[in-house]
Structure 1
């Protein structure tokens, strides 16, 4: 695979991103991979390399680019350090659903313009905060997104939130795959049932599963990384994208 550090023009500036291209002769489908709350870093570059190895041109954006340069987070200690935890949550709070959608237009346009991609609908996948972003983008960009995945994403179906992704289920044309974690207060059984109902009533092709692992199970530098669950997530992505993007 080939990795490029790239810059993506957006409505609010320029977003740094990591682009990963499969080996061989393309073109290939494009995928936007949204990182967890700790942001673009080596762990997500490694994950993008893996996805590129499955045959997808993968873009991992810096979703905090409006605040660049920002000091990187250590995913293994950020939640145990009160100051770093506060800094993380403050940064997370600056990225609104409207910003997510506007940025997604730019990211998808960037991917479609690359000679390595097929130029068709893209896939999205996201982790933790990025899982919510993936669902928000699917509900706001229509048929530009062919498949949307969320892994241990939080806040996907919050009954008293006007920004909850489940409220735009009727606008989703993508095939959706959601994998939750056990004992995860950011995606409870009640939220899972609400999301299931919303997607079913909207006629969205979808599958929601709960992996026997804890929040953060896919990302290698998380303390809760689970090798078996991570491997299952790669199989799920390969199946999802193989059915919808190839």
Structure 2
């Protein structure tokens, strides 16, 4: 596995990013992976490497680069209940400042950068994200319907994108929701919106989970749900991009 820290020129500066790709001189399908609000850290690097090991070039951008390079916020090794208030006090202003317009401008830069990498092959890419990163993934897919072939989001406020944005998606969609994140009524409304727009999707609740269930460095972590997430994500990518080499 080859990993590196890269720097992506954007309309508003330069974003640092973590990249992972299998060793060798071949080219692989590209995947843009948006982190959760806690940002790039060991667990996200491990997840990117896990995904890359299945035959993908994975790019994880620091979405809060306007506020500094990784780590933008100092994090404890384990983000438990006691640490969360202080961490969120630092993170919330960054999250609130990251508008939809910023997301779309940055997505343009990330996807251009990904497409230009010599390790990336094919014309289509996938976008995935966690927590707030899932919302960024939705907005990215909507802004680039001709490029994004697969969209996945986990324990993410995807409905916050709004029906007009969701209706622009042409990618195959998978949403994995925490049981505490969405009501049956809200889930039904999301499904009706996607159905009305003709968006091919699978959207489901992971029973017994709480927000953040994929993140092994938090007290929300659920190992069984993490494995289910990998099963769903890898199946989606294989259908949409194929784990193939050029």
* TM-score, length basis structure 2: 0.91
What do residues 141-189 of structure 1 show as CA deviations (whole Å, max 9, x unaligned)?
A: 21211100000002x225xxxxx343322211111100001122xx332
Q: How does 1:68-147 map to 2 (within 5 A)?
A: 68-69=68-69, 70-74=72-76, 76-77=79-80, 80-147=83-150
Residues 1:178 and 2:180 aligned together = no
Paired residue for 1:219?
A: 215
Distance, in Å, in 2 between the alignment partners of 1:211 and 1:81 is 23
Cα deviation, residue 78, structure 1: 7.2
Taking a change above 3 Å as real, the CA distance of residues 226 and 12 of structure 1, as seen in their structure-2 partners, is same
Q: Deviations over 1:8-57 (max 9, x none)?
A: 11110100000101234521100011101111111101100000011110
Q: How many residues align?
A: 238
Deviation, 1:72, is: 2.5
Q: Distance in 2 between matches of 1:9 and 1:236?
A: 32
- Tell me the alpha carbon deviations over residues 192-220 of structure 1, each in whole angstroms, 9 at most, x when there is no partner: 11211111111111100111222111111
Gaps of 5+ in 1: 159-163
Distance 2:101 2:199 in 1: 22
Structure 2 contact 10–109 (Cα < 8 Å) conserved: yes
Distance 1:240 1:3 in 2: 24
Q: Point out the more displaced range, 219-228 or 19-28.
A: 19-28
Deviates further, 55-64 or 24-33:
24-33
Normalising by structure 1, we get a TM-score of 0.91
Shift of 1:80: 4.5
Is the contact between residue 20 and residue 52 of structure 2 (CA under 8 Å) also seen in structure 1? yes
Q: Which moved more, 1:116-125 or 1:70-79?
A: 70-79
Which of 187, 193, 206 lines up with 1:192 in the alignment? 187
The residue number in structure 2 matching 1:201 is: 196
The residue aligned with 1:161 is none
Q: Separation in 2 of the partners of 1:101 and 1:79?
A: 34
- The question of whether the paired residues in 2 share the 8 Å contact of 1:113 and 1:119 is answered with no
C-alpha RMSD of the superposition:
1.6
> SS at 1:47's partner residue?
helix
Structure 2 Cα separation of the partners of residues 233 and 24 of structure 1: 27
State the alpha-carbon separation in 1 of the partners of residues 93 and 201 from structure 2: 32
Q: Mind listing any 5+ residue stretches in structure 2 that lack a counterpart?
A: none
Hey, what does 1:63 align to over in structure 2? Answer: 63
Q: Distance in 2 between matches of 1:3 and 1:188?
A: 39
- Structure 1 distance, partners of 2:163, 2:212, is 22
Residue 18 (structure 1) aligned with residue 18 (structure 2): yes
- Aligned residue in 2 for 1:32: 32
Cα offset, 1:190, TM superposition: 2.5
